[in-house]
Structure 1
Amino acid sequence: MNGSASSRNRLYRVRQWRPSRRAGIVLGTLALVVLVVWLLFDWNWFKPPLERAVSSATGREFRIDGDLDVDLGRTITVSADQLRLANAPWSKEPRMGSAERVEIDIAPWPLLALRLRMKEVRATRANVWLETAPRGGGNWVFDDGKPDAAETDEPRWRLDRLWIEDSRLRFTDAAEKTDIDITLDSVAPEAAQRAQPAQAAAPVAVKGRGHWRGAAFRLEGQAASPLALADSDTPYRIDLDARAGATRASASGTLTNPFRFQTFDVQMQLAGKDLEDLYPLLGLALPPSPPYRLDGRLRRNGDVWRYDGFKGVVGDSDLAGDVQVDVSGARPMFTAQLLSRRLDFDDLAGFLGAPPSTGGKETANAEQKAEAAKRAASPRLLPDTPYDLTKLNAMDADVRWRAERIHAPKLPMIDDMDAHLLLDGGVLRLEPLNFGVAGGDVRSTIRMDARKQPIDTRARIAVRGVELPKLLAQAELAQGAAGRIGGDISLHGRGDSIAAILGSADGDVGLGMGRGRISNLVMELAGLDIAESLKFLLTKDRQVPIRCAFADFGVQDGLMTSRALAFDSTDTIIVGEGTINLEDESLDLLLRPRPKDRSILSLRSPLRVGGTFKDPSFRPDFAALGLRGAVALALASITPPAALLATFETGPGEDSDCGGKYAR
């Protein structure tokens, strides 16, 4: 009976827990509601609160004009179409960003702690517009009226991976005349990264064009994921090739806070047809040059740019060194230490306003070849291309350039160079500009004041110890010659080109040589002694001593007028007079030789030097044969000017009256 009673009690309890008819109706209704909600639920109902949340977080209006959808699971995927974000209030462009579609993979468990971990964001046909603000900063700085996350606790959101397709990024800096328009597409990470795709920030392929400081350019390459831009303290990796006209640059390295562009460290190869083309790109007023290729480490820290350890070629010269540009002042300050192991002399032509040589294997760009052809057809020799006063006033500079060896086929006597260029507020100084020449030195100091037009130029040039045989190394008649040349040149001119400066110059020019030797054949030809010349041509030439030689000119308004001009050897005395016009480049000199021996065939005719610098002429002046008496009187007192005498070697204990005792 007890068992039967127990069974009846269990049955009673089961019947007691059976829902009532009313409860059944409620449960059925709830199930029906869940079914209806599941069938009719639209995630778009959450668009307004989501838009308000993003707008509040950014301080910008955010809209989803398409559908919003959520797929629930171990990873929650939120997708939305036709998104747009308003720009900063000061911008003329209404939108900062838009996207055709965005998908976000979210880890569910951090949501319980009110933290958002986005495992991946995928954006299709996104458009982002970045621009600098008129008073600094940019539209990427959001103002939501709340403290920055860095000033509070750890951010409550995190993004692990970003993937973009067929997207576009534009950057504008109106003050710098800079605009960049590029396309972006994520590329597959490296194999090592693919092992952990959730942690891999996929780099992007970059291609586009724009203007940098007003100069058009194109750019292509690869950069780190745009996700890295969110951390301004983490270096942003780039590997890009850019071209602006004929200038090409390849940069591989890192940028810190790229949109401020204040700190970076990249290996940069730079090449182009003319260093002068860097002026609109970088604001550096460099002189014209032949085509160049350089490779060095480019770094920037705030207002200081450095191009360290670069090596390369400019024209046919090698060039290496370190460059620094400080842009903190009113004008950029360009500082450089440069070294050339082998300097092709004609590559310096740009400093003078002339193109480099273009014959043979010489390196020059198309424009320089055209200019060289034009100059070759011109009757003028001195460069007449005007200096650009705007560029001379655009920056300051302190440049030291040394050349260990100089290649100059037309001027084989030039050995090396040491130049120190200083540019301060439009005043350019070369202190010094020294060349090793034919075993001696040509030391110069030059000052050009370009603060107003025309340029005011002063030059002082000292010639010391230049060896005659090395100076005439290519002349067969100079074999066995000896002697050292010295002198001083002081000029002051006004003009905007080398030709204009010399054409208006005032000053003094004096060169001279003390004891030495020279070919007797040269002296006989100078005196037109036909018998003696034929004898040395048919037999063996011999050397004759030189007692001294000198030329002293006064210069006024570009006209050089001889004050003393003589050449004295044991064989012949030559005195001269005349003018050299630096303005029209004409020559008008009369050289009167007096052979010291007697020959029945000696014409003893004066030699007229005329023509121009580019096309000089040498001819006997038979009309001056009747001046022998005047010549004899002149030969009685051939003595170098005292100031000039101190610049060349006459030899210890030797007289320096240069021919006085021979004038009879």
Structure 2
Amino acid sequence: MSEAPAPPPSARRRRTFDTFADHPWRTALAVAAVGVLILILLWDWNWFKRPVERAVEARTGRSFTIGGDLDVDLGRVTTIRADALDLGNAEWSDEARMAAADRLDLSIEVLPLLRGQVRIPEIRLQRPQVRLEIGPDREGNWSAFAGDGGGTPIQLRRLWIDDGTLLFLDPEGETEVDVRVASQAPGENDAAPPVAITGEGRWRAAEFELEGTAQSPLDLQDTDSPYRFDLHARAGATRAHARGSLLDAFQFETFGFQMALAGRNLEHLYPLLGLAMPPTPPYSVDGQLQREGTTWHYRDFSGKVGDSDLAGSVTVETGGERNLFKADLVSKLLDLDDLAGFLGGAPESGAGETPSPVQEAEASSSGLIPDTPYELDKLNAMDADVRLRAQRIEADLPLDDMDAHLFLENGVLRLEPLNFGVAGGDIRSNVRMDARKSPIRTTLDADVRGLNLGGLFPDSTLAGDAVGRIGGHAKLVGNGNSIAAMLGSSDGELAIGMGKGEISALLVELAGIDIAEALAFLVTRDRKIPIRCAFAEFAVADGVMTSNALAFDTTDTLIVGEGTIDLESERLDLLLRPRPKDRSILSLRSPLVIGGTFSDPSFRPDLARLGLRGAIALALGSIAPPAALLATLELGPGEDSDCGGEYAR
């Protein structure tokens, strides 16, 4: 059976045409398929670059360009890629660009978009560069991006930063921070990867370095979960360690975290934070740093300053004409020389002390009274309200505790009060320093109450058993920019005295150089001599204390004195004249001269007068021995003096 001949080509074309004519839907489908194929082959997503740029510009008011390619990989999770992104800066900035990136890869889920949800699984940025700066009106260039929280919320799961940089500028605050940011290994459960941070720059004109880690910047948007970080910064010898967590970190007006500070000298915080602190030995403190608007709190901190422990809370209010520094501080054990910087001195150096190298060199100063000038610009730089209480004091002086309240307002410093517990009693004083002009004018008003005489000499075997209560008063006014200059120019009065008590007879006899009785006490046993009274009153003029009255009266000896104390040169020139009330063959009752300096005093008998008495005795001895003996006898011309009533309390 032979096969039928094939139809000619024209017949086949006619049959195909008839098929499409009979089924028009097939024709439409074929045309659409061809159109899609052509569209896929010819489509360029760069056609959408300009619409995207216009949308960003309309939203931010800033120029925005996509200088490279724009590409889209369609799918259930669609990926958008854009190269060479550039975002313009605020008009007031000298730099036209605020942000840029070599590439942006953004993944977005398509199906949730149909339900009005925006889910972005990941954003990757290559070499992003962000410039944040504060303008002339203290407005940040990022303010254009602050929204009202409305609109469709965006769910962003991961942010990956490859070699990013962040530059923060505050020209008025002399601050420039250059930070490099890079994502680390991804977090657990596909969480946003943390970032490593390194940087350097200037903070208030002081150079510093920064390093540490933080959660992904993506986590900053979640205001219900804490944003964790751990950063270390160093500016010269000052170190800071900020760590912990922030809630709603974009609320720059309110935040809090743990902050540790350490350095060689609290004075170094002045250029960094604008806090005019006195010089101190090395310090280390750790507490909770919080901000509430223009008020900063450093709460519940503890640590050490030199050899003293220190704890409490500090508040700095920055909204006024000057910063207001408020503090409530407590020390369980205060090493007094750690406060030397407040007086213009330096902490002690040597074994068991912790001054800085500079302070160790300053400690070699020859003068006992601090002579380092106060810096008037610091005293006028801020206001202060500081309370410091020390439960125990370590010092060469017999100090028990301290309660001081400092006020600094518009260049006027007041210590009201400055109280010390001393030898079972106390010294209560008020100090006022007016630093509004140079030299500083200082007034001191102090009362001495109930000091135990024996407690003033706790390390002395002889004086430690003394009994008696001491009281007194001092009122001085001086001009000068240091403690030494203030005292060296001071005018006023000083009086101190005590009522009835007891003291070692050996001390009294030594003061009178009674050889026989002193030897008797040394080889047998000491005994107590009742004190009737003791007092000293000085008039102070131009830094020189001149005695108006000076006496020490016991049942054994009356000692009277006279002389001067020069506060400017720190020199002593006092003469004590013993008037014994008993008789002794070997009594050499010569006056006692107290001289030298405050740091190196001298005690010596008046040898010239003693030599004269010896010459008379020898002359008399050549005539009749009894007469020579009589010349060495002290008949006790001193008389009892009822002078203790005023100081007996």
Provide the TM-score with structure 2 as the length reference: 0.88
Q: Which moved more, 1:32-41 or 1:481-490?
A: 32-41
Aligned to 2:178, which of 166, 177, 181?
181
Residue in 1 aligned with 2:129?
127
Aligned to 2:393, which of 406, 417, 442?
406
Residue in 2 aligned with 1:8?
none
Residue in 2 aligned with 1:525?
510
1:566 and 1:638 in contact (8 A); partners too: no
- 1:450 CA displacement: 1.0
2:500 and 2:648 in contact (8 A); partners too: no
Q: Deviations over 1:200-235 (max 9, x none)?
A: 333322111122222222222222322345678986
Q: CA separation in 2, counterparts of 1:507 and 1:393?
A: 27
- 1:632 CA displacement: 11
Q: Structure 2: 5+ residue runs without aligned partners?
A: 1-14, 617-633
Amino acid at match of 1:646: E
Q: Structure 1: 5+ residue runs without aligned partners?
A: 1-13, 650-664
Aligned CA distance change for structure 1 residues 325 and 116 (closer, same or farther; 3 Å): same
1:241 and 1:249 in contact (8 A); partners too: yes
- 1:437 CA displacement: 0.6
Matches within 5 A, 1:133-144: 133-142=135-144
Matches within 5 A, 1:113-262: 117-142=119-144, 150=148, 154-155=151-152, 159-191=156-188, 194=189, 197=190, 200-229=191-220, 236-255=227-246, 261-262=252-253
Aligned to 2:591, which of 588, 606, 610?
606
Q: Deviations over 1:75-133 (max 9, x none)?
A: 11111222111111111111101111111112223555787543321001110001123
Q: CA separation in 2, counterparts of 1:227 and 1:134?
A: 30
1:488 and 1:647 in contact (8 A); partners too: no
Q: CA separation in 2, counterparts of 1:519 and 1:113?
A: 99
- 1:265 CA displacement: 1.1
Residue in 1 aligned with 2:381?
394
Q: CA separation in 2, counterparts of 1:235 and 1:593?
A: 78
2:102 and 2:126 in contact (8 A); partners too: yes
Residue in 2 aligned with 1:290?
281
- 1:636 CA displacement: 6.6
Q: CA separation in 1, counterparts of 2:636 and 2:441?
A: 42
Residue in 2 aligned with 1:272?
263
Aligned to 2:479, which of 491, 494, 502?
494
SS of the counterpart of 2:185?
coil
Q: Deviations over 1:283-339 (max 9, x none)?
A: 222222121121211111102211111121111111111222222221222222211
SS of the counterpart of 1:161?
strand
Q: CA separation in 1, counterparts of 2:331 and 2:75?
A: 68
Q: CA separation in 2, counterparts of 1:70 and 1:127?
A: 24
Matches within 5 A, 1:511-550: 511-550=496-535
Residue in 1 aligned with 2:83?
81
2:491 and 2:541 in contact (8 A); partners too: yes
Q: CA separation in 2, counterparts of 1:635 and 1:570?
A: 10
Aligned CA distance change for structure 1 residues 461 and 27 (closer, same or farther; 3 Å): closer
1:218 and 1:242 in contact (8 A); partners too: yes
SS of the counterpart of 2:131?
strand
- 1:157 CA displacement: 5.4
Amino acid at match of 1:323: V
Q: CA separation in 2, counterparts of 1:515 and 1:596?
A: 17
Residue in 1 aligned with 2:631?
none
1:271 and 1:293 in contact (8 A); partners too: yes
1:545 and 1:569 in contact (8 A); partners too: yes
SS of the counterpart of 2:549?
strand
Q: CA separation in 2, counterparts of 1:593 and 1:63?
A: 99
- 1:32 CA displacement: 6.1
Residue in 1 aligned with 2:60?
58
Matches within 5 A, 1:442-453: 442-453=427-438
Q: CA separation in 2, counterparts of 1:336 and 1:545?
A: 48
Residue in 2 aligned with 1:105?
107
Amino acid at match of 1:42: D
Q: CA separation in 1, counterparts of 2:93 and 2:499?
A: 78
- 1:453 CA displacement: 0.9
Aligned CA distance change for structure 1 residues 475 and 157 (closer, same or farther; 3 Å): closer
Q: CA separation in 2, counterparts of 1:399 and 1:385?
A: 22
Amino acid at match of 1:429: R
Aligned to 1:460, which of 445, 449, 455?
445
Q: CA separation in 2, counterparts of 1:484 and 1:265?
A: 52
2:164 and 2:180 in contact (8 A); partners too: yes
Identity between Structure 1 and Structure 2 (%): 57
Residue in 2 aligned with 1:19?
20
Q: CA separation in 1, counterparts of 2:637 and 2:205?
A: 67
Aligned to 2:603, which of 592, 598, 618?
618
- 1:15 CA displacement: 7.1
2:435 counterpart of 1:434 = no
Q: CA separation in 2, counterparts of 1:646 and 1:190?
A: 80
2:290 counterpart of 1:299 = yes
Residue in 1 aligned with 2:646?
646
- 1:57 CA displacement: 2.2
Q: CA separation in 1, counterparts of 2:256 and 2:546?
A: 59
Residue in 1 aligned with 2:620?
none
1:297 and 1:308 in contact (8 A); partners too: yes
2:187 and 2:194 in contact (8 A); partners too: no
Q: CA separation in 1, counterparts of 2:640 and 2:452?
A: 27
1:289 and 1:314 in contact (8 A); partners too: yes
Aligned to 2:313, which of 296, 310, 322?
322
Residue in 1 aligned with 2:71?
69
Amino acid at match of 2:94: K
Q: Which moved more, 1:113-122 or 1:594-603?
A: 113-122
- 1:44 CA displacement: 2.5
Aligned to 2:323, which of 332, 342, 349?
332
Q: Deviations over 1:139-186 (max 9, x none)?
A: 11227xxxx8537x5237554432111100111122222221111112
Amino acid at match of 1:343: L
Q: CA separation in 2, counterparts of 1:435 and 1:596?
A: 38
2:128 and 2:164 in contact (8 A); partners too: yes
Q: CA separation in 1, counterparts of 2:505 and 2:134?
A: 78
Q: Deviations over 1:28-62 (max 9, x none)?
A: 88766654543444333332222222222222111
SS of the counterpart of 1:383?
coil
SS of the counterpart of 2:101?
strand
Q: Deviations over 1:364-405 (max 9, x none)?
A: 212111211x32xx2x21110011111111222222211111
Equivalent pairs, count: 615
Aligned CA distance change for structure 1 residues 638 and 498 (closer, same or farther; 3 Å): farther
Q: CA separation in 2, counterparts of 1:607 and 1:16?
A: 142
Q: Deviations over 1:481-520 (max 9, x none)?
A: 2111111111111111110000000011111111111111
Aligned CA distance change for structure 1 residues 257 and 96 (closer, same or farther; 3 Å): farther
Provide the TM-score with structure 1 as the length reference: 0.86
Residue in 2 aligned with 1:341?
332
SS of the counterpart of 2:361?
helix
2:509 counterpart of 1:508 = no
SS of the counterpart of 1:390?
helix
Matches within 5 A, 1:569-588: 569-588=554-573
Amino acid at match of 2:74: L
Q: CA separation in 2, counterparts of 1:307 and 1:622?
A: 63
Residue in 1 aligned with 2:357?
366
2:301 and 2:313 in contact (8 A); partners too: yes
Q: CA separation in 1, counterparts of 2:76 and 2:84?
A: 26
Amino acid at match of 2:406: L
